């Protein structure tokens, strides 16, 4: 794998692999290799989404520090 991939690049690579696998033209060993690569890329995407979700769930408090965001009803 490359150095640190951003979410968009990893997702594009997953999409390309899916298209290749859907074509049915890859030999079994190559398909397994591509599937494994896609799963690694999906993990990268998932990790980045989890991190982004955690960041979005925090806001700056009055002191400029990060604090958990809570909605007041």
Question: For residues 13 and 41, is the Cβ–Cβ distance under 8 A?
Answer: yes
pLDDT of residue 63: 64
Does pLDDT of 55 surpass 90?
Answer: no
3-class SS of residue 59: strand
Q: State the Cα–Cα distance between residues 13 and 21, nearest whole angstrom.
A: 12
**pLDDT tens per residue across span 31-50:** 999 999 999 999 999 999 99
Task: Note if the pTM is more than 0.85.
Answer: no
Domains of the chain from N-terminus onward: 7-68 (1.10.287)
């Amino acid at each position: 794998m490359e150095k640190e991939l951003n979410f968009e690049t990893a997702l594009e690579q997953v999409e390309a692999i899916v298209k290749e696998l859907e074509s049915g033209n890859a030999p079994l060993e190559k398909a397994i290799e591509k599937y494994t690569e896609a799963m690694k890329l999906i993990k990268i995407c998932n990790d980045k989404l989890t991190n982004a979700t955690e960041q979005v769930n925090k806001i700056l408090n009055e002191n400029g520090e990060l604090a958990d965001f809570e909605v007041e009803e």
